[in-house]
Each structure stands twice: as structure tokens, then as C-alpha cells.
């Protein structure tokens, strides 16, 4: 699943969508490789939605650095940001 379904109702240019998508994919990859229970099959949909919403929120505030978007989303998800 990509970030695109979560972008409904948002207005981003194609370049921003690519950056947000890369941040989302990278954050999900890090989470899964970490072995966190947030990446388990039972929580995957909720976790992915939370990651996407945070990345979109920060994208709407103008953040366009995919690494910072990824790090912020992971920190937010784990309560450290």
C-alpha cells in the first residue's frame, strides 16, 4: 500500500507526492525491520495510516525533506516527537 490513498482531499504537486511517498515507504521499512509490534500484521493497517497522516500533516506545513519526514513520523508514532 502506498501513501496515495491517504492523500485524498489533499493538494500536493507531483514532486511533493513523490517525496511524501518516499518518506512513507522508508518509515514503514524501518519500522518493519526493527521488529516493532507496530509493524505486525495485526497492527499494520493502523500503523500505516498513522504514519501516512503524520507525513501528510508535516507535508502540509511545508516539510519536503524525505529523511526528516520519515524521522518525524517514526518519532511521532513512538511518542518521542
* Cα–Cα distance, 78 to 33 (Å, whole number): 15
Domain residue ranges of the chain, discontinuous segments joined by +: 4-77
Find all residues with CB under 8 Å of 62, minimum gap 6, and list them: none
Model pLDDT for residues 31-49, shown as the tens digit of each residue = 999 988 988 888 999 999 9
CA dihedral 14, 71, 80, 4 (to 10 degrees): 30
Q: So what's the pLDDT on residue 74? A: 96
The answer to whether the CB of 3 falls within 8 A of the CB of 52 is yes
To the question of pTM greater than 0.75 for the whole model, the response is: yes
Residues 6+ apart with CB under 8 A from 67: 23, 26
pLDDT band at 26 (very low <50, low <70, confident <90, very high): very high
Question: For 47-75, what is the mean pLDDT?
Answer: 95
Amino acid at each position: 500500500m502506498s501513501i496515495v490513498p491517504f492523500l485524498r482531499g489533499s493538494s500536493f504537486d507531483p514532486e511533493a507526492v513523490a517525496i511524501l511517498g518516499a518518506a512513507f515507504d522508508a518509515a514503514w521499512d524501518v519500522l518493519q525491520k526493527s521488529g516493532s509490534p507496530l509493524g505486525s500484521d495485526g497492527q499494520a493497517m493502523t500503523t500505516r495510516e498513522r504514519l501516512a497522516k503524520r507525513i501528510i500533516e508535516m507535508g502540509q506545513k511545508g516539510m519536503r525533506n524525505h529523511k526528516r519526514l520519515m524521522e518525524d513520523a517514526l518519532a511521532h508514532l513512538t511518542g518521542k516527537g
